[in-house]
Structure 1
Amino acid sequence: MEHINFPAPANLPHLTMSHDKAFQDVFGLSLVSNIIQHQKGTQAALQAAMESALPVALEAIGTWEIVWGPVVWKRYPSDRNSGPDNIWYIAKNPLVQFSDETTHETYVLAIAASADTLHDWLVEDLDVGGVVDFEKWVKGSCRNRPVNANWLFIHDSTHTYIASGTAGGVWNLISTTAPSSAKGSSYTAPQFLANLRPDTPTARLVVTGHSLGGALAPTLALAMKEIGVLSAFSPDNVLVYPTAGASPGNENFAKRYAKAFPKSRGSDYKVWNADIINTLDIVPQAWCTNTSKSPSQCLENIPGMYGPSVWEVKGAIDITILDVNLCGITYFPLQSSSFTGAQTSSVPTTITKFFEIAGQQHVPQYAKHIGVPMPNFATLPVLESIRRDLHAKTPEEVRQAYPVIGRLESDANRVAADGVGPLEDEEAVRAYVAAIASRGPPPAAHDAADPALVIQEVNDQPPVSKTVAVV
């Protein structure tokens, strides 16, 4: 996969874009939100690196300037051995030409994909076993941390629910203020947008993200629209561009999102308000478990996506499906537009090889298809004093951070820890799955979608408290 090599800023070349520049620009802004994703360091070190690297990365995309952020958030800010949990920023371009031949002053809120820390991996990507009543939360203007619905009182057919992990991620995005060193300091992203006065009446806002960001972006956009912080933009000028996102909630949420953000005309990656998905990417197959409701995007499709079903993958998927089904809802994918990435000539016969192919389909194939080279942090002119406080993730750590892939590996490890044996032992795994199923659902979900509830199980450090009004 081609990377952008960044020379000194004064000599920085601009990417050559086609008439689809708006889509490519927005996806490029989404990609560069991940510029330090594979780095480990304290929150302060990662924040300094992001502030140093992002302006240079933006110069390679076009005439974009940072107007808010960037913000790097970590559950445990002093931990040097993990990467960021969330990264997001807002950039502005005074004149962007869209595919309908109109030009607009444009703001883009870009949200990073899955990062490499335990919080992100366990909570925002994997916490689909608990759900939050979205309508109830936004009626309170999202001023309080989202609370998990009690399993006994979940009504999937009549209420709008989102995954607890998605809700927790959105809470971080709407409640965290930019630090004093960043643009828009002391404001949250919603506060900044609520107080924004664009230079033109036709200004547009695009909310974008890939992978984890592909689930957070549409959920955040809908929440901000419903709590009324986007009045600076006309309704038709608020767009969403999620890519490779898993399903954030149930069918009622998908319908609510589609009503608020109608899918634009177009096909392939050239569609606004639709989840842009690679049909060979396993991540958009999550988290629906009902093939009759969603035959093209469902967890059961994953084992055979790259050839004959790999039993180790099938075993992990069976366990994942059981866990997801205990949440009380059926996840349903958002409206989407698809393409098919380049297929590999090799057929995976092990779970490790399966994950390697899945990783290639999840990020590089999107960049190749949309025509946006992937940025490379190693070539950025970041001060050595900043770079020395960081160290890179290993390839295995990077792969394990991908959503769904990380979940499957987690379930595989869980089987081994429970003494079942290797996942290729079909009889043993079937017995294990049956044993889990016989336990049935819990009497009630845990009370709050608080990342600390999960993290405290594996880390004795005290949680970091933060409460900030959204608007």
Structure 2
Amino acid sequence: MTNPSLDAYQQVFGMAGLANRAGGYNGLGIQLQLQLQYDLSFYFNNVPPVKIMGQKAPSTADPSVLPVLGNWDLVWGPALVEEENNNVPTGVADNALYVVKCDAVAFPGGPTLPAYVVAVAATNPSSLYDWETEDFAVSEVVNWTTYNPSDPTTSPYNGTDPYISKGTATGVGILLGLKSPDFAASPNTTLQQFLAGLNPEPGTAIIFCGHSLAGALSPTLALYLKENKNLNAFGVTLVYPTAGPTPGEAVFANLFNSKFPPLPPGWEEQKGTYQSWNTMHWNDLDVVPHAWTISELEKIATIYGQATSNMTPYILQTLQKMAIDDSSKSGASYTRIQNQSLPGQLQTTIKTPPATLQDYMLQLAVQHVAMYNGIPAAGPNPQVNGLILPQPLPKPDVVNLVPGVTAVTESEMIIKIINQIIEWILSHYTLVEKENATQNIEADK
């Protein structure tokens, strides 16, 4: 078979996006699990059949996928969790991951090797659990030297040891605790158990990837497994995180950088801005990777220009102040792991500068997702090539839904994001009132 049109970086990024598919649905955990597995059967070989959808044998990837993404087999998972808020199931996929394998991946500037990819799902915009427990939980930190994934206890920052945010610590613990269901690939095993049972060929690579929240979780998960000696059987260990917030502070970032250099020995540096391993790639107009470094958070209220209505600038400035306050509380200075910015472009089909919070959120959503994947032409609007993928991966002509599952539209996603931010504002109500009073006093003066 000829090489796929996407290079290894783009293939891995595409597979990170596929891990997010469950975020586009509502349903019970078991239904969402089956839906994600069914969706993956379009892209990968040997996905166990989802019998309720009429599948009777392991999958063969759709012919439209192979020339683009290459020939990959599902080997573990997918595994997915639906959490609870106050003993009430969330009704969405809060975390998910899966593992695929290809017998021959041509690495740009390097050799052709067998490779495994561990793909971690991003924040589900519909999951308040994700937002509160993983994304926004940065005011407390966990000492990496004593980190226990099953009990991520926080402790005061001592200024010496590496620390990660409580949210990152919680998320990695959830991923390590997930088991592949008995109807999925490599059933009834955790990721660590699956990796321990492998006997890969010499030189085999393993790559961890994820976007957004998973841009913080995937490098942290890889570092944990590496330090725990779970990856010793692999010849090459790589990470390809995108659009991620900072998982931890400066000592942790330096630790990660020392364990994961941008290129394995002997590999040649590539020219593309997206073409480096063990590097967090981010769109410079994407709000999410501006968290949680204070100097970067100070840019987010006006990242798309000064909002024009009376209320929107106040809301955005208040959000920015709250984010900076949360980032500062522990005393740890959040610092990006080694990273590479990508040149974004404002989408003029959205009102810019924003007049309303919805304008801001629409631009944010485009910059955080579509600008990495590419935007197909629509009506008078021309095609926009993405910062990593030229255009989105092929999709089925018709999306079939597992009984009990409903799809979430893009508009509904935007509304959910706005609602989650409103919830966050309400959770910081005292700070909002204090800021409001301060601004009123300044206005009176």
The one-letter code sitting in structure 1 at the alignment partner of 2:152 is: P
Q: Is the 8 A contact 2:274 2:281 kept in 1?
A: yes
CA distance in 1, matches of 2:420, 2:292: 11
| Contact map agreement 2:373 2:392 (CA 8 A) in 1 | yes
Q: Count how many residue pairs are aligned between Structure 1 and Structure 2.
A: 392
Provide the residue aligned with 1:24 in structure 2: 10
Name the counterpart of 1:227: 228
Note the 1:240-255 alignment, pairs <5 A: 240-255=239-254
CA shift, 1:202, in A, is: 1.2
Q: Hey, what does 1:320 align to over in structure 2?
A: 323
| 1:144 counterpart = 2:150 | yes
Deviations 1:12-71 (A, max 9, x none): xx99615xx101110111111112212011111001111111121333222011000000
**Compared CA separation, residues 167 and 401, structure 1 to 2 (3 A):** farther
Larger RCO (alpha carbons 8 Å, 6+ apart): 1
SS in structure 2 of the partner of residue 37 of structure 1: helix
Partner of 2:163: 161
Change in Cα spacing, 1:419 to 1:412, as seen in structure 2 (3 Å) is: closer
Gaps of 5+ in 2: 45-60, 264-268, 308-312, 375-386
Indicate conservation of the 8 Å contact 2:141/2:166, yes or no. Answer: yes
Secondary structure, counterpart of 2:299 in structure 1: helix
How much does 1:389 deviate? Answer: 0.8
**1:348 corresponds to:** 354
Query: Matched residue of 1:276: which SS?
Result: strand
Q: What is the Cα deviation at residue 134 of structure 1? A: 0.9
Indicate yes or no: 2:287 matched with 1:279.
no
Q: Deviations over 1:82-118 (max 9, x none)?
A: 3101110000000010101510101000001101222
% identical aligned pairs: 31
Do structure 1's residue 123 and structure 2's residue 136 form an aligned pair? no
| Residues 62-461 of structure 1: pairs in structure 2 closer than 5 A | 62-76=70-84, 82-115=91-124, 116-137=126-147, 142=148, 144-149=150-155, 151=156, 154-155=157-158, 157-198=159-200, 200-234=201-235, 237-264=236-263, 265-266=269-270, 267-289=272-294, 291=295, 298-308=296-306, 310-345=313-348, 346-368=352-374, 369-371=387-389, 373-374=391-392, 379=397, 382=400, 386=402, 388-393=403-408, 395=410, 398-399=413-414, 408-414=421-427, 420=433, 427-428=439-440
For the residue of structure 2 that corresponds to 1:48, the secondary structure is helix
Task: Name the structure 2 match of 1:448.
Answer: none
Structure 1: gaps spanning 5 or more residues: 1-13, 292-297, 432-471
Q: Which amino acid aligns with 1:69?
A: G
Give, in whole Å, the separation in 1 of the partners of 2:360 and 2:43. 32
Query: Does the CA contact (< 8 Å) of 1:312 and 1:350 recur in 2?
Result: no
**1:242, 1:274 within 8 Å by CA — same for their partners in 2?**
yes
Amino acid at match of 2:238: L
1:376, distance to aligned residue in structure 2 (A): 8.0
Partner of 2:21: 35
Kept after mapping to 1: 8 A contact 2:95/2:121: yes
The answer to whether the 8 A contact 1:132-1:161 is kept is yes
- 1:97 maps to a residue whose letter is A
Q: Give the conservation status (yes or no) of the 8 Å contact 2:248–2:334.
A: yes
Q: Residues 259-308 of structure 1, C-alpha deviation per residue, up to 9 Å, x if partnerless?
A: 0001233451111000010000011100012x3xxxxxx11111121112
Sort the Cα spacing of 1:418 and 1:307 in 2 relative to 1 into closer, same or farther, 3 A. Answer: closer
Give the conservation status (yes or no) of the 8 Å contact 2:149–2:169: no
User: In the superposition, relative to structure 1, how do residues 100 and 133 fare at CA in structure 2: closer, same or farther (>3 Å)?
Assistant: same
Structure 2 residue aligned with 1:11: none
| Normalised TM-score (structure 1) | 0.77
Code of the aligned partner of 1:271: S
The worse-fitting range, judged by mean Cα deviation, of 160-169 and 309-318 is 309-318
> How far apart in 1 are the matches of 2:441 and 2:36?
44
Alpha-carbon separation, structure 2, partners of 1:227 and 1:401:
38
Comparing 220-229 with 336-345, which one deviates more in the overlay?
Answer: 336-345
Which residue identity lines up with residue 26 of structure 1 in the other structure?
V
Using the alignment, how far apart are the partners of 1:91 and 1:192 within structure 2?
12
Instruction: Report if the CA contact (8 A) 1:178-1:186 is conserved.
Output: yes
Query: Structure 1 counterpart of 2:388, which letter?
Result: I
Change (3 A) 1:112 1:419: closer
Q: CA RMSD in A?
A: 2.8
Residues 308/25 of structure 1: CA separation in 2 closer, same or farther (3 Å cut):
same
CA separation in 2, counterparts of 1:410 and 1:76? 17
